[in-house]
Amino acid sequence: MFNRDRWNEILEVLTSNWFRTALTAFGVFWGILILIILLAAGKGLENGIRADFGDIATNTMFMWSRNTTKAYMGLPKGRRYNYKLDDVQAIKDNVPNLRFVSPRNRLGGFQGANNVTRGIKTGAFAVYGDYPEIINQDPMTITSGRFLNQSDINEKRKIAIIGEGVKLSLYDKGEEVIGTYIKIQGVNFMVIGTYKKKSNNGDGEEGMKEIYIPFTTFSQAFNRADNVGWMAITANDGSSITAVKDKIISIVKQNRKIHPDDKRAVGYFDLYEQYNRVESLFGAMGFIAYFVGILVLLSGVIGVSNIMLIVVKERTKEIGIRRALGEDPWSIKLQIVMESIFLTIISGMAGISFGALFIYGINAVLEANGPIDMFLNPSVGLEVVVAALAILVISGLLAGFIPAQSAIKVRPIDALRTE
Amino acid sequence: MGSNSLHVLKGINFTAESGELVAIMGSSGSGKSTLLNILGMLDEADSGEYTLDGVPIKNLNETKAAKYRNKFLGFVFQSFNLINYKSALENVALPLYYQRIPRKERQERAMKYLEQVGLKEWATHLPNELSGGQKQRVAIARAMAAEPKVLLADEPTGALDSTTSYEVMDLLQKINDLGNTILVVTHENDIAHMCKRIIYLKDGVIVKDEKVKQVRASEYV
């Protein structure tokens, strides 16, 4: 196969009619280019949507309380109830494969009144009472100091971790933050850390105007007893939260004396389910890209096959001579298949390179003009390029196969008679 | 290929000894080309036996036929049948290439045969830069390159003027003098008489098989 004469011959044949070879090559070039661009566009959309999910642990559900809609055990319908800390314990004890069960409470928030003051500066921020695990479920980067830990919970320390956005409105530029005090609804908290959240679709700004304090401190300072506002529950990797969702809900229903058939008393949002829905959308997009791309490529490949048939026809006499001189029919077959594969691969490589250049250009334009909603960093992975090459080799093989067969089907004596 | 079959040869029986120079003569349609094609394993006889150098030639698949053609036979055609994008040297080296002889040795041997036909200086030329006589000499060199048992020449002078024809015949005679067996199909009397034996074909049967006194082509050149 790696034989100088054979390659000489391949080049000889393909360069003998430049224009025709180029036109044929264009079909394959175009096909693979379309495939690459479609896949890159799909990837760009996927990246954009994934960025919207941010760093949040996606195998997570959120659960909050609503009014009951059914009377049960002597309790009326329309009753307002609260989750308690023992619900959290009950879930942890009875449901396997859970990684984190974080009870949360909140004060203030979006469009709330000013609730935090420091000296003469005030601001309206969302204040969360949390357990240390929350940093794994709603990831943030600690920019100075530290995050909550278990001793803070146990000792009900009056400490706070503030976002960079909070720091911006309560502190002067360059002012030392750690160790200072802020007043949340009249209660003093010492700031022990600052954090930053990754921007996800513009929510990052809002996400950095939050204050985290220990859950236990929150309950005591703001008079929540053992009430829990809502929970963020994350399942272990490898098992889905969707699968244990019903079990969790039935446990809290039992604990809170809610009718088992009351479908509206427990509010929840299954992030994993949403995420999976989007995931399957990505899958479908990938499928469409491959489907369309390969069909376009196929028409190019048929072009190659067609030209190879013509080349074989033109060379019938030559093939006859070579067979009279004693060339093995397999060698002739191999020659034609190699010509076809060579042509497909060369033009395919050109298509892949051009596609890469195109993607590079798009990225440069995106970078220069700022981000577009739901579209980010279109790209194709190495595995796509490898797959494309494999497709090329296989299609080259298929394109060469029929012409090669027809080349050796003609008897040498008939081939020699051809003028 | 056609559905009408035509019996061209109707019983041919002859033996060519090693070192013979045999002319097969006959008017067109007498079956001489068909006979040569059968001898050349390009065509197969419906019945009968063919033994080449003690090897029975029958039931060949294409791969095997190709191997035998390469090893036992050298072809010279009326229309030269050189591959026109390969130089004279590469054309001569082709049968050796099919024997998987290394490139360097192949070229050396091909050059030796080109020299023998007097075309060493033309080695790098493409066929369309050569005259008809030169082309046929390249073809003869190519046929000889694999050192075949038998050289089969189908109207080797058919496309050449008489002077060039005699040159080509002179070359074939010299090759024969070295001990090579050659079969020449021709319909020209003078060419046939430059061989040592003439087999006359008519309507698919041998009408005469005689040894003749060889006329040396060099007398005319």
User: pLDDT tens for residues B113-146?
Assistant: 999 888 999 999 999 999 999 999 999 999 999 8
Residues from A contacting B (CB-CB < 8 Å) are 4-5, 12, 16, 317-318, 321-331, 408, 411-414, 416
Task: Give me the total of CB pairs closer than 8 Å, taking one residue from chain A and one from chain B.
Answer: 63
Q: Which of B43, B70, B85 sits opposite A325 (nearest CB)?
A: B70
Q: Measured between beta carbons, which residues in chain B are less than 8 angstroms from residue A5?
A: 97, 103
Please tell me the distance in Å from B189's CA to the nearest CA on chain A.
Answer: 25
Q: Measured between beta carbons, which residues in chain B are less than 8 angstroms from residue A4?
A: 103
Q: What does pTM read for this prediction?
A: 0.71
Instruction: Judge whether A268 lies within some domain.
Output: no
pLDDT of residue A112: 73
Residues A287 and A219 both lie in one domain: no
Q: Per-residue pLDDT for B1 more than 70?
A: no
pLDDT tens column, A162-175? 999 899 999 998 88
The 10 Å Cβ neighbour count of residue A344 is: 32
ipTM: 0.87
Residues A12 and A124 both lie in one domain: no
Residues A175 and A293 both lie in one domain: no
Please tell me the distance in Å from A18's CA to the nearest CA on chain B.
Answer: 15
Residues A288 and A408 both lie in one domain: yes
pLDDT of residue A1: 52
Range of the domain at B41: 21-82+148-219
Q: Per-residue pLDDT for B5 more than 80?
A: no
pLDDT of residue B60: 81
Q: Which of A324, A330, A331 sits opposite B42 (nearest CB)?
A: A324
pLDDT tens column, B192-212? 999 999 999 988 889 999 998
Instruction: Judge whether B215 lies within some domain.
Output: yes
| Side chain identity, residue A182 | I
Q: Which of A226, A250, A274 is the last residue of a domain?
A: A226
Instruction: Judge whether B161 lies within some domain.
Output: yes
Residues A190 and A309 both lie in one domain: no
Residues A211 and A129 both lie in one domain: yes
What value does the CA radius of gyration of chain B take, rounded to a whole number of Å? 17
Q: Are A393 and A338 in contact (CB under 8 A)?
A: no
Domains in chain B: how many in total? 1
Q: Which of B66, B103, B146 sits opposite A328 (nearest CB)?
A: B66
* CA–CA distance, A358 with A361 (Å, rounded to integer): 5
- B85/A12 touch (CB, cutoff 8 Å), yes or no: yes
Instruction: Judge whether A365 lies within some domain.
Output: yes
- B42/A413 touch (CB, cutoff 8 Å), yes or no: yes
CA B147, B150, B156, B162 torsion: positive or negative?
positive
Q: Are A145 and A205 in contact (CB under 8 A)?
A: no
* CA–CA distance, A263 with B17 (Å, rounded to integer): 105
pLDDT of residue A14: 86
Instruction: Judge whether B67 lies within some domain.
Output: yes
Q: Measured between beta carbons, which residues in chain B are less than 8 angstroms from residue A408?
A: 62
Residue B142 touches partner A, C-beta closer than 8 Å:
yes
Instruction: Judge whether B160 lies within some domain.
Output: yes
Please tell me the distance in Å from B221's CA to the nearest CA on chain A.
Answer: 30
pLDDT of residue A419: 63
| Angle, helix A316-324 to helix B62-72, in steps of 10 degrees | 60
Domains in chain A: how many in total? 2
Q: Which of A180, A208, A226 is the last residue of a domain?
A: A226
Give one DSSP letter per residue of B137-179, joined into a string.
Answer: HHHHHHHHHT--SEEEEESTTTTS-HHHHHHHHHHHHHHHHTT
Q: Which residue of A has its CA nearest to B81?
A: A321
Instruction: Judge whether A15 lies within some domain.
Output: yes
pLDDT of residue A89: 93
- A321/B83 touch (CB, cutoff 8 Å), yes or no: yes
Range of the domain at A331: 4-54+282-417
Residue B63 touches partner A, C-beta closer than 8 Å:
yes
Residues lower than pLDDT 70 in chain A:
1-2, 54-55, 109-111, 199-204, 419
Nearest to A136 by CA among A224, A49, A60, A39: A60
Tokens of A11: 């080049």
CATH number at residue B171: 3.40.50.300
Q: Which residue of A has its CA nearest to B98?
A: A327
Instruction: Judge whether B39 lies within some domain.
Output: yes
Strand-pairing partners, residue B69, are: none
Instruction: Judge whether A241 lies within some domain.
Output: no
Q: Which of A204, A226, A248 is the last residue of a domain?
A: A226
Residue B147 touches partner A, C-beta closer than 8 Å:
no
Q: Are B113 and B155 in contact (CB under 8 A)?
A: no
Instruction: Judge whether B205 lies within some domain.
Output: yes
* Confidence band, pLDDT 50/70/90 cuts, at residue B2: very low
- B66/A408 touch (CB, cutoff 8 Å), yes or no: no
- A327/B81 touch (CB, cutoff 8 Å), yes or no: no
When scoring A325, A332, A334 by the number of chain B Cβ atoms within 10 A, the one with the most, hence best to mutate, is A325
Residue B46 touches partner A, C-beta closer than 8 Å:
no
The 10 Å Cβ neighbour count of residue A373 is: 9
Q: Measured between beta carbons, which residues in chain A are less than 8 angstroms from residue B43?
A: 411, 413
- A326/B62 touch (CB, cutoff 8 Å), yes or no: no
Residue B71 touches partner A, C-beta closer than 8 Å:
yes
Strand-pairing partners, residue B24, are: B185, B199
Residues A18 and A130 both lie in one domain: no
Please tell me the distance in Å from B91's CA to the nearest CA on chain A.
Answer: 10
Residues A296 and A408 both lie in one domain: yes
Please tell me the distance in Å from B2's CA to the nearest CA on chain A.
Answer: 12
* CA–CA distance, A284 with A42 (Å, rounded to integer): 10
Q: Measured between beta carbons, which residues in chain B are less than 8 angstroms from residue A331?
A: 98
pLDDT of residue B158: 86
Instruction: Judge whether B154 lies within some domain.
Output: yes
